[in-house]
Structure 1
């Protein structure tokens, strides 16, 4: 575990694997930290340089005062990868992490040779929806949203398992200010025009029971990029890397091989 001081924020990040390995960067969803990917990593090929980080206001990173702009989140990722001298990575982003992937690909295509847009979209929700959620967190903390978030995040079968509490706890232990800040960033983001101009290998992944970014929403965004692929994972909601890690890892591994990254 390491910390990078960017001035207005300090980012917690972790690098696993050899320095000479092909870099794969993972960006998390709203309300989760870098442990989101723990279950998937054992199903990926050996020898990769795995880079994970907590976005501002989440996990062990510092928490600037909200609101945040999506441009700041993209710049955070850019500065981290510059610090790590990363070029030609495969960038895997889930939900807001997928928005960061789109923004970074537009800004620094030298950094990203291919990307995975998982359970995300060029635009998620409406300003009114996000304003309501921000108001709810301001009034009652993340706890006030937690049960509804679990319904959107996970399939019905998973919600009956004791492991659900792990993810509910992860959500509620995030910083309220960080959650509100990143919610504001999502609210202000519409990447339809810029993402439609991208030309790089892209894989879209959706969960069949995703209540936050349903499969049709993910497909609509992925289809903006010519030659892209799309895959639906059954029996999974917004976090298929948690519910179906073996299948998620197999899909990701196949894509890494197809783009010559392993």
Structure 2
């Protein structure tokens, strides 16, 4: 698949983005936004199952992957503006935005702000509010004191089904989380901690699909459903035998549902 890479200067950071597939900005566009502690390669297993003719945009959040880190904490507004800057630089319009976990929070914020960028929205393994301020502060304190590696195995158990978490397949994901910068990880933890999007998200009137993993220990299916239910006319789907990252454990089933949503909404 043809691709180009882009380094986009935005304020105090440089954001890394990649465009796969069709390079024409007029092509049907899908934007993928990643979870905390992962980079744009979170979606690698999904791409081969997507139909031809799409323009696929992915990016690394600040402090993740190849995007530069800035001192924590970050606000969700800052992360939304980062994503907005990438979309504007790449002339993204009328896109289907697929956001997983914190990526889904970013998607909610961007959809409320920029109707011209987000035409349809997929909220995957996410919610309008995730966790509590104490939970996130405890996580930040643990990273600062002991490093991400000190609790990464617990994250893997929450992210994946039991068999996957015990297999060798979990190693790349464990390594990816551990490779995240401390500032980037803590900064994004702070952004999630300070976010409650129930009111703005309830004002959305665009086609919205919620996707949950049957065994997600981070954002359980009921939490995902509670969020998408505030959007009139939204759809909801559970991916069986998957945890917090169904695009990793069940990429074919995940992509099938995305494609169906594209067809339902006239995106393809």
TM-score by length of 2: 0.97
Measure, in 2, the Cα distance between the counterparts of 1:21 and 1:144. Answer: 44
- Counterpart check, 1:111 vs 2:129: no
> Hey, what does 1:13 align to over in structure 2?
17
Measure, in 2, the Cα distance between the counterparts of 1:84 and 1:159. Answer: 36
Decide which of 114, 128, 132 is 1:126's aligned counterpart.
132
Unmatched runs of 5 consecutive residues or more in structure 2: none
Deviation at 1:61, TM superposition (A): 0.3
Deviation at 1:90, TM superposition (A): 0.3
Measure, in 2, the Cα distance between the counterparts of 1:21 and 1:216. Answer: 35
1:155-177, CA deviations, whole angstroms, 9 ceiling, x for partnerless residues? 01111221111110011011111
Measure, in 2, the Cα distance between the counterparts of 1:82 and 1:4. Answer: 10
> Hey, what does 1:46 align to over in structure 2?
52
Pairing of 1:148-227 with structure 2 (within 5 A)? 148-227=154-233
Decide which of 242, 248, 267 is 1:261's aligned counterpart.
267
Unmatched runs of 5 consecutive residues or more in structure 1: none
Decide which of 139, 150, 161 is 1:144's aligned counterpart.
150
> Hey, what does 1:70 align to over in structure 2?
76
CA RMSD between the two structures: 0.7
Count of aligned pairs between the two proteins: 262
TM-score by length of 1: 0.99
- Counterpart check, 1:4 vs 2:5: no
Deviation at 1:7, TM superposition (A): 2.3
Measure, in 2, the Cα distance between the counterparts of 1:134 and 1:174. Answer: 13
Measure, in 1, the Cα distance between the counterparts of 2:196 and 2:69. Answer: 24
